A and B are shown apart, each in its own frame.
Chain A
Amino acid sequence: MKIKSQKDFWAGLMFIAFGMFFVVWAQMNYQMGSAVRMGPGYFPSVLGGLLALLGVLVLIDAFVEEGPEVPTFHFRPLLFIMASCLAFAYLLKPLGLVLASALLIFIGAFGGHEFKWKEVTILTVVLVIFSVLVFVKGLTLPFPIWPEFME
């Protein structure tokens, strides 16, 4: 058998995986109850089963109907964007808003097509000042501004 639609093939597998996971996890850990008094496992089991079933249908469709290829994944922007968010999140408390924001902007900007040091530096300065004024001073979000050891 030949896969005619790559997109449907992978989407089908994804839905089956999600569906099965919810069914198995719910069956292992939560009570089903009865139709009258549904336990915490009832709704997720039914939905998970339905999702897996739909996944199978999508998968079958992948062998029947012609479809486009999956477009190439661009890992560079994806990785840089995710990394910039994570760096910001986990370094905000120890390093403070100024440094964490700068890190986010620089790492994020590396994910784009062109990176100009001067431009990004100016952008960082403007955004950091704006964030400190609006979020910390204006909206009084409880963020540290500078690193712990400096305060």
Chain B
Amino acid sequence: MEVFSNLLLGFQVALSPFNVLMCLIGVLLGTLIGVLPGVGPVATIAMLLPITFNLSPIAALIMLAGIYYGAQYGGSTTAILVNLPGESSSVVTCLDGYQMARQGRAGPALATAALASFFAGCVSTLVVALFAPPLAEVALKFGPAEYFSLMVLGLVAAVVLAHGSLLKAIAMVILGLLLGLVGTDVNSGVLRFAFGISELADGIGFVTVAMGMFGIAEIVGNLEQTGAREVFTKKVEHLWPTKEDWKRLWAPTLRGTFLGSALGILPGGGALLASFGAYTLEKKVSRYSHEFGKGAIEGVAAPESANNAGAQTSFIPLLTLGIPSNAVMALMIGAMMIQGIAPGPQVMNERPQLFWGMIASMWVGNLMLVILNLPLIGMWIKLLTVPYRLLYPSILLFMAIGVFSLSNNPFDVFLMSIFGLLGYVCVKLECEPAPMILGFILGPLMEENLRRAMLLSRGDPMTFIQKPISAGFIIAAVILLVIIALPALRRKRSEVFVEET
């Protein structure tokens, strides 16, 4: 089996001492930001990008990936103990996890979250290893028309999954695409939308945008809120689930893993959608559905396995197509580009060590998380008691240092605070920043592929419908839009997101 020899190669890379260390740092940092409420992975990964400039590409990606799935783990701890989602994907874990903690069963809830996540991590690593190569093979045959249509589909999917108004989400994507065009136009060499500012010649750095829209806006948003949190710190004992618990949790874990893996692959998917879908499914099929919301262990196992599986399989579109499915993946693309790697189907063939090393590191990272987190739970709980008033100046300082170091220029920090302002306004007006970031990263790519496709077809826009694969993407995008625009579903969708928040 080729998969196994490839995985073997991957493990050789991932298990080199330095890469293991990077993986460890990544998952620890990830858990840390996952545990701390109000510190999201997008801002953190953006913050740490400058640090990875000096690392080798593989070490950098292993660390960044570790942060992402580490955050999924950490987020559940906060959800269970404080009833605050440390991570948006652990929102549903709050529902039953916190109730379990109130009943004095915080230990089994935490252990269930960790073990279900670990199981899901193992399975989805295999899913990535099995599905990525054939998909990359197909993607190698893509021309500019196919790529353009695929990006349209990806953006539409991202819009569909955004909270709130569909129109506003599409508008945010387009705003992102436009902002992505700032800088020198590759085709004509013309400087666009730079307003005579020399710093804008290379475009707006996406790290700057991400830190502003997510980091700064997040901090300001958090500072508005006052409210005490109730932390269940003393009651965490008897970590291990009982026999009865085991019986109840294995089936939801399996279902959550498979649903999560499937949803993670979809463009626009990822951990958030996965955890939510799994919880809803479990509530429908479980024999204990009457206990949901009152501390059912299934309500922890299913979304926790699903969000971890989804987090990992969302790497598939990134690694095979070079298309990000969510904001974190957009940052990963940025990290790859900074390292001089053009993300896309050729990565697997040209850099098998990078590709398989990263996949293998996911399994290594998951193992580390389960070994580290259960014994270290006491330490993470202590961190929960650090007040936010000490936390945010630290985050602010690291963001400022990180952005400044991008080009050693105060202008980037200035730009970051401007995007912070924009992000804050957008949140107030219920316009989500995540679709904008996706548009921002895809803007130049989309224009490039559109131009090439139109050149090849001599200006005939029908080319996007005449090519079968491209037509398939466009049709899928249209169907998605139509479905979501139907009034009945629109109502359902808003209900779904209301329940979530």
Binding site for B on A (CB under 8 A): 7-8, 10-11, 14-15, 18-19, 22, 25-26, 30-31, 34-40, 43-44, 47-48, 50-51, 54-55, 57-58, 61, 70-71, 73-74, 77-78, 81-82, 84-86, 88-90, 92-93, 101, 104-105, 108-109, 111-114, 119-120, 123, 127, 131, 135, 139, 141-143
Residues on B with C-beta less than 8 A from A48 are 178
Taking a contact as CB atoms under 8 Å apart, the answer to whether A92 and B410 are in contact is yes
Taking a contact as CB atoms under 8 Å apart, the answer to whether B401 and A131 are in contact is yes
Q: How close is B447's CB to chain A, nearest CB, in angstroms?
A: 5
Q: Which of B290-309 contact A (CB under 8 A)?
A: none
Q: How close is A103's CB to chain B, nearest CB, in angstroms?
A: 10
Q: Which of B170, B175, B461 has the most CB of A within 10 A?
A: B175
Give B53's nearest chain A residue, CB to CB.
Answer: A139
Taking a contact as CB atoms under 8 Å apart, the answer to whether B428 and A84 are in contact is no
Taking a contact as CB atoms under 8 Å apart, the answer to whether A74 and B175 are in contact is no
Q: How close is B195's CB to chain A, nearest CB, in angstroms?
A: 9
Q: Report the Cα distance A115→B388, complex, angstroms.
A: 12
Taking a contact as CB atoms under 8 Å apart, the answer to whether B389 and A18 are in contact is no
Q: How close is B174's CB to chain A, nearest CB, in angstroms?
A: 5
Interface check B28, CB cutoff 8 A: no
Interface check B390, CB cutoff 8 A: yes
Q: How close is B117's CB to chain A, nearest CB, in angstroms?
A: 30
Interface check B226, CB cutoff 8 A: yes
Taking a contact as CB atoms under 8 Å apart, the answer to whether A30 and B392 are in contact is no
Q: Report the Cα distance A14→B192, complex, angstroms.
A: 21
Residues on B with C-beta less than 8 A from A71 are 428
Pick from A11, A44, A50, A123: contact of B429, CB below 8 A: A11
Taking a contact as CB atoms under 8 Å apart, the answer to whether B220 and A74 are in contact is yes
Give B405's nearest chain A residue, CB to CB.
Answer: A141
Q: Which of A47, A86, A109 has the most CB of B within 10 A?
A: A47
How large, as a class, is the contact surface on chain B? 35 or more
Give A106's nearest chain B residue, CB to CB.
Answer: B393
Taking a contact as CB atoms under 8 Å apart, the answer to whether B389 and A11 are in contact is no
Q: How close is B386's CB to chain A, nearest CB, in angstroms?
A: 11
Binds A, one of B346-354, B360-368, B417-425: B417-425
Interface of B is mostly: helix
Give A142's nearest chain B residue, CB to CB.
Answer: B408
Taking a contact as CB atoms under 8 Å apart, the answer to whether B51 and A10 are in contact is no
Residues on B with C-beta less than 8 A from A120 are 393
Contact flags (1/0) for B34-68 with A, using CB distance below 8 Å?
00000000000000000100100000000000000
Taking a contact as CB atoms under 8 Å apart, the answer to whether A108 and B165 are in contact is no
Say whether, besides A7-B429, A111-B223, A40 and B51 are in contact (CB < 8 Å): no
Q: Report the Cα distance A111→B451, complex, angstroms.
A: 47
Q: How close is A149's CB to chain B, nearest CB, in angstroms?
A: 19
Contact flags (1/0) for B399-438 with A, using CB distance below 8 Å?
1110011001011111011001100110011110000000
Pick from B168, B405, B414, B461: contact of A35, CB below 8 A: B461
Residues on B with C-beta less than 8 A from A111 are 220, 223
Give A9's nearest chain B residue, CB to CB.
Answer: B429
Q: How close is A75's CB to chain B, nearest CB, in angstroms?
A: 10
Q: How close is B466's CB to chain A, nearest CB, in angstroms?
A: 16
Taking a contact as CB atoms under 8 Å apart, the answer to whether A54 and B178 are in contact is no
Residues on A with C-beta less than 8 A from B417 are 81-82, 85-86
Pick from B192, B388, B411, B458: contact of A44, CB below 8 A: B192
* A-B residue pairs, 5 tightest by C-beta: A89-B413, A89-B410, A36-B459, A77-B223, A35-B459
Give A50's nearest chain B residue, CB to CB.
Answer: B174
Taking a contact as CB atoms under 8 Å apart, the answer to whether B167 and A54 are in contact is yes
Say whether, besides A25-B193, A40-B192, A92-B410, A51 and B396 are in contact (CB < 8 Å): no
Taking a contact as CB atoms under 8 Å apart, the answer to whether B429 and A14 are in contact is yes
Interface check B200, CB cutoff 8 A: no
Residues on A with C-beta less than 8 A from B226 are 113
Residues on A with C-beta less than 8 A from B190 are 30-31, 40
Taking a contact as CB atoms under 8 Å apart, the answer to whether A77 and B167 are in contact is no
Say whether, besides A14-B425, A81-B420, A44 and B178 are in contact (CB < 8 Å): yes
Q: How close is A20's CB to chain B, nearest CB, in angstroms?
A: 12
Q: How close is A1's CB to chain B, nearest CB, in angstroms?
A: 19
Q: How close is B317's CB to chain A, nearest CB, in angstroms?
A: 23
Given contacts A14-B429, A40-B188, A89-B411, list 20 more A-B pairs with CB under 8 A.
A15-B175, A18-B178, A35-B459, A38-B187, A43-B181, A43-B451, A47-B174, A54-B171, A58-B168, A70-B429, A78-B220, A85-B216, A85-B417, A86-B417, A89-B404, A89-B414, A93-B410, A101-B397, A139-B51, A139-B54
